[in-house]
Chain A
Amino acid sequence: MSNHSEPTSFAFTAENLEKAKKVIARYPAGRQQSAVMPLLDLAQRQDGWVSRATIEAVGTMLEMAPMRVEEVATFYTMYNLKPVGKHHVQVCTNICCLLRGSDGVGAVAQEALGVGWGETTADGMFTLSEVECLGACVNAPMMQINDDYYEDLTADSTRKILDALKRGETPKPGSQTGRQFSAPEGGPTTLIKTGEKA
């Protein structure tokens, strides 16, 4: 945690507080600490990141030592320990995506956004992160932007997605080559006709 200012306090909005209470109620009395991960996630959805104030507020809510909360928050890379832009662009560079051309995706993303890995654009709209496997290898290369996966990327489609986001549009998530989920490229290869072999 470095060049950013830490807020002095954190509080859930009334709506999120209700949600948090529901999450805590899922666990038996005295086991409220089990709610630490959903609560940190809820806090991150509210503020965009997990600050020290958030860690302490969640710790107080769940009667945990703040150190216990920080252990969880630092263990999972999905918790952002510093502020991120409105769109958090996470490009997978793990082995499958690498073999399928994530280098190009990363280069285009850096060029299109004008920032390097781990940096945020000056307008605060985009943060670009290099991440490990996100579990969508069958649609490699891919990137995650906030909650959505953009898959089967090429340099072109990456640029299109980022440009669309810059214009304030919401590009269609999922495969960018038009295939359904991870169905074979070019259409189904099995079960084409009932009772017939492909």
Chain B
Amino acid sequence: MPKLTIDGTEIEVEAGTTILQAAEQLGIEIPRFCYHERLAIAGNCRMCLVEVEKMPKPVASCAQPVGEGMVVHTNNAAVRKARQGVMEFLLINHPLDCPICDQGGECDLQDQAMAYGGDRGRYREDKRAVEDKDYGPLVQTWMTRCIQCTRCIRFITEIAGTPVLGGLYRSDHLEVSKYVNSALSSELSGNLIDLCPVGALTNKPAAYTYRAWELNKTESVDAMDGLGAAIRIDARGNEVVRVLPRINDDINEEWLGDRSRFACDGLKRQRLDRPYVRRDGGLKPASWNEAFAAIAAVLKGIPGAKIAAIAGDQTDCETLVAAKDLLVSLGSAHIDCRQDGAALDAAVRASYLFNSTIAGIEEADAVLVIGANPRKEAPVLNARLRKRWLKGGFKAAVVGPKADLTFGHDWLGDQASVLADLAAGKHPFMDVLKAARKPALILGQGALARADGAAILGLARKIADAAGMVTDGWNGFNVLHTAAARVGGLDLGFVPGAGGRNAAAIVDGAAKGDIAAVFLLGADEVDMKGFGNAFVVYLGSHGDAGAHRADVVLPGSAYTEKNATYVNTEGRVQRTRLAVFPPGEAREDWKVIRALSDVLGKPLGYDTPKQVRERLAAVNPLFATLDTVTPAAWGAFGTAGTVGDTPLASAIDNFYQTDPISRASKVMAECTAAFGCGCNHSKKTGTHG
């Protein structure tokens, strides 16, 4: 390992480390624009120049590997002068329109110009202007501001795997541009805005609506998909302006899918801001007391066995445990958190978790994807799979929808019978899995939410066993959830109790009159027409399908408006933070249920968030652990049986609109219009096969 001296401090680093990285280990920050630790090194902005003794000229520290005995100066007069020169050149063609630039206040160029910029310009000639490009409804371009660091080109090529950006022409005419015949329809395109060190790529939906220093920044957790990515919610007043990713190497590194990032305008639309009660065929505004009284009046005459509850995709664990406790005390066993009917088995935790963990998938050397399109269902996870594939020594195959997944894979067809062949060892890919050191499979909700879901779960388990996916220290059996609430619901046992009905049976029972009252906890994806004459109470944040069918609507909070617990697809317990308050008279969902329990004469035994969390931990001790993954024990699950011949499909049709929030979002509707349903590149991207 080479030893070198940086600013008088000796350090020993691994061979191949660059000077910039070595300096970072010492806590010395070197200014940079083009260098980004998760992208390939370009070395073209020259801002990171340092002086290395015995080298004739300043060197770009981001691209210079350390050498034995190097003596580096990162901040002497010569270095500062060199950087001032670079800065002056960068500013020659920069419009200096910071007062009207959305990046103002959080701009690398602005910050570094404070340190290295001159107080006046010496450039008297005309500045160059570059035509703006159309990057679609999410990314606004101001190409004249571009300093050609090429971070966006490298991100879209390397991480997103949709190489539609490039640098055209040369020298003074160089323009970062999008290939003319293709859309920027990467599910990760919002990350370009974060990566751009200047204001060339900015947030289009939020354009001109904020200054960076006006925003209240709340560190929270995403609930728009099953991954639970780390996010920061930026709000001004009581309005969420934007959502940004935070670094969490266990889940999302520093990326975020476009739906999680841009659906936040849906938090302002179609909101339920007061209770409603159905009178004379229409929903009429009501007070909380009136709404509760209406519920109590109906439930009084109904035996517990005719009451049911279905939880939706974004319901937090506090609400789930409160609802479960209430339903149990009412004498009902009809509860289900699997509104899509997925054949998930709550009894064996390993059967519904992403056991390898998201970061752990990078260790896998062979992956079988079943009934999922990870690019649509979890774009950040898909970026991980691509990252793994780019490293080499990785084989992947898909049984399910055919799609451009941005990583090389064999498509084995979309018939579930292929799984039977694999399980029986009759398929050649089984040999690949068996030969792999750490084989894994990813089982999507599209494969489970079907009539033969339990049989497919059984086949997946057989494949996992036959391929040796579960060994000491490695469990490659992965269920990919699309709903943030699902794992929490299963962990809390929000599934039918003894003699209880599942979601489909609840709907069926309601149609036949066996179920007289149904609580929908943000559940909008069940067949609303099937409830017959049942009394439906909807508790949720948005006026979506559920609220339209409901007889009483109770306004709840979205994930940005409460301190709530979610369990991600890996089984990691995480907590969101309240960034803004729920609108109008809306309340935190579990508190609504707590208040309702009083009116129904079955008061729940917890009043404060602390008490409800203690209740969570009492139901399942895992809820006492935060932000960690506890390995789950392997067990028996799934059933034997024949599988149907319906093609396996992804659980998500339209990446941009999957839940009440994104369906209410205008931006997501624009994306659907511009990009279709996601991943529909008309052009080959060079990553097929």
Q: In the assembled complex, how far is the CB of residue B667 from the closest CB belonging to chain A, in whole angstroms?
A: 26
For B683, list chain A residues within 8 Å (CB): 56, 65-66
**Which of A52, A56, A60, A68 is within 8 Å of B166, CB to CB?**
A68
Instruction: Verify B165–A67 contact, CB threshold 8 A.
Output: yes
We find that the number of chain B residues with CB closer than 8 angstroms to chain A is 18
For B489, list chain A residues within 8 Å (CB): none
CB of A119 closer than 8 Å to a CB of B: no
Q: In the assembled complex, how far is the CB of residue B404 from the closest CB belonging to chain A, in whole angstroms?
A: 12
Q: Report A50-71 residues with CB < 8 Å from chain B CB.
A: 52, 56, 59-60, 63-68, 70-71
For A34, list chain B residues within 8 Å (CB): none
Instruction: Verify A74–B685 contact, CB threshold 8 A.
Output: no
Question: For residue A65, which residue of chain B has the nearest CB?
Answer: B163
Instruction: Verify B180–A71 contact, CB threshold 8 A.
Output: no
Known interface pairs A65-B164, A65-B179; A75-B169 also in contact (CB < 8 Å):
yes
Instruction: Verify B169–A74 contact, CB threshold 8 A.
Output: yes
CB of B300 closer than 8 Å to a CB of A: no
CB of B601 closer than 8 Å to a CB of A: no
Instruction: Verify A63–B166 contact, CB threshold 8 A.
Output: no
Instruction: Verify A71–B686 contact, CB threshold 8 A.
Output: no
Chain B interface mostly? loop
Give the most central of A60, A67, A70: most B CB within 10 Å: A67
Interface string of B155-191 (1 = CB under 8 A from A): 0010000011111111000000011111000000000
Instruction: Verify A70–B168 contact, CB threshold 8 A.
Output: yes
CB of B684 closer than 8 Å to a CB of A: yes
Instruction: Verify A60–B684 contact, CB threshold 8 A.
Output: yes
Q: Report B665-689 residues with CB < 8 Å from chain A CB.
A: 683-686
Instruction: Verify B168–A74 contact, CB threshold 8 A.
Output: yes
Q: In the assembled complex, how far is the CB of residue A191 from the closest CB belonging to chain B, in whole angstroms?
A: 39
Q: In the assembled complex, how far is the CB of residue A92 from the closest CB belonging to chain B, in whole angstroms?
A: 18
**Which of A60, A66, A74 is within 8 Å of B181, CB to CB?**
A66
Question: For residue A77, which residue of chain B has the nearest CB?
Answer: B170
For B179, list chain A residues within 8 Å (CB): 65-67, 70
Known interface pairs A65-B179, A66-B179; A71-B166 also in contact (CB < 8 Å):
yes
Instruction: Verify B163–A52 contact, CB threshold 8 A.
Output: no
Instruction: Verify A71–B168 contact, CB threshold 8 A.
Output: yes
Instruction: Verify B166–A70 contact, CB threshold 8 A.
Output: yes
Instruction: Verify B164–A75 contact, CB threshold 8 A.
Output: no
For B164, list chain A residues within 8 Å (CB): 65, 67
For A75, list chain B residues within 8 Å (CB): 169-170
Instruction: Verify B169–A63 contact, CB threshold 8 A.
Output: no
Interface string of B396-436 (1 = CB under 8 A from A): 00000000000000000000000000000000000000000
Question: For residue B687, which residue of chain A has the nearest CB?
Answer: A65
For B180, list chain A residues within 8 Å (CB): 52
Instruction: Verify A71–B163 contact, CB threshold 8 A.
Output: no
Question: For residue B689, which residue of chain A has the nearest CB?
Answer: A63
Chain B interface (Cβ < 8 Å from any Cβ of A): 157, 163-170, 178-182, 683-686
Known: A66-B182, A68-B163. 18 other contacts (CB 8 A): A52-B180, A56-B181, A59-B686, A65-B685, A66-B179, A66-B181, A66-B683, A67-B164, A67-B166, A67-B179, A70-B166, A70-B168, A71-B166, A71-B167, A74-B169, A74-B170, A75-B169, A75-B170
17 contacting pairs across A/B (C-beta < 8 A) = A52-B180, A56-B683, A65-B157, A65-B163, A65-B179, A65-B683, A65-B685, A65-B686, A66-B181, A66-B182, A67-B164, A68-B163, A71-B167, A71-B168, A74-B168, A74-B170, A75-B170
Which A-B residue pairs are the 4 nearest by beta carbons?
A65-B163, A67-B166, A67-B179, A74-B168
